[in-house]
Amino acid sequence: MKSIITALVVALPLAGGSLAHAQPSAPVTDTRWSVEFGIGWDNSISGNINSSAVGTLNNQIVVVTKNSYEDVYGTGLHIRFGGGYLIDDVTEVRATFTLQSLDADLTPMGELGPSRLYAQYADYQSFGLDVGLRRYVDLRAGLRAYGEGTIGLAIVDETDVILVAPGSNLAQNATDFYDKTAAFTLGANAGVLMRASNKIDLFAQLGLRWVSGMSAVDNLEGTGLDTINDKSARWTIPFLTGVRVRF
């Protein structure tokens, strides 16, 4: 998937750059509405999927070390699709659906008795709706820069975790670590829009996105570990390329 996205990142600006020179600017009044699709990757820069703690588990002392989203999930898929309406030449009101999908790796989580403790988290999936305002600046004919701010709501899937400590004879079934959650989102993006034809634009953008914490499940209450899942808000840097159709 990263190879496909990288190819799009390289190909879209090259294709759009040559086409943009040849395309005149279309009257705004003729193309106030637009739909847009973008795909890219999602890089976590802060936030912990679990915090650190000391407690007991399986009648043994356990030490849990914190894991960031980057430790567990790394870089994931980010997809956006939606539409907008130009209220004047440079201001656009937008509504966008956002999908985030990240695959989990087996992660060292600490120590249980004489054994290393490992966690296998479920994959991270969220789907949300963001609304916001975008402002454009003309750079030259067929080429515009833009900045936008968004606010929204995302549904984050339930997150399970399997805990394994081979040397301490522990292999737990999947534990409900976070419930399905309605999380708040904030975002800011900056990008470049290139005219490809009379109705089609190509774009590339870089952003900053915050998703509030997930709903913690207290399956570990009474073990001393009940606070390891109560600080799960995250910041990411999504990078996208895509296409916009005006009508």
Q: Name the domain count of the chain.
A: 1
Is the model's pLDDT at 244 over the cut of 50? yes
**What is the C-alpha R_g of the chain?**
22
What long-range pairs does 104-111 form, CB within 8 A, spacing at least 24? Answer: 104/72, 104/73, 105/72, 105/73, 105/74, 107/67, 107/71, 107/72, 108/65, 109/50, 109/64, 109/65, 109/67, 109/163, 110/52, 110/62, 110/63, 110/64, 110/65, 111/62, 111/63
CB atoms within 10 A of CB 89: 11
Given a cut of 70, whether residue 26 has pLDDT beyond it is no
Q: Quick one: pLDDT at residue 157?
A: 95
* Domain at 66, CATH number: 2.40.160.20
Looking at residue 161, its amino acid is V
Q: How large a percentage of the chain has pLDDT more than 90?
A: 72
- pLDDT(132) > 90: yes
Q: Count the Cβ atoms, other than its own, within 10 Å of residue 38.
A: 24
Task: Give residue 16's pLDDT band: very low, low, confident or very high (50, 70, 90).
Answer: very low
How far is Cα of residue 238 from the mean position of the Cα atoms in its chain? 6
pLDDT digits (tens, 9 = 90+) for 67-121: 999 999 989 999 999 999 999 999 999 999 999 999 998 999 999 999 999 999 9
More confident residue, 165 or 218: 165
CB 67 within 8 A of CB 107: yes
Smallest CA-to-CA distance from 36 within 98, 88, 90, 100 is with: 98
Residue where the block lists tokens 């701010």:
149
Q: What confidence tens digit (pLDDT) does each residue in 172-182 have?
A: 876 788 999 99
Residue 30's pLDDT is 66
* pLDDT tens, residue by residue, 38-53: 999 999 999 999 999 9
Between CA 133 and CA 146 the distance in angstroms is 10
Q: Give mean pLDDT, residues 180-199.
A: 95
Question: In this model, does residue 27 exceed pLDDT 70?
Answer: no
pLDDT, the chain, mean:
87
List the domain range (segments joined by +) for residue 203.
2-246
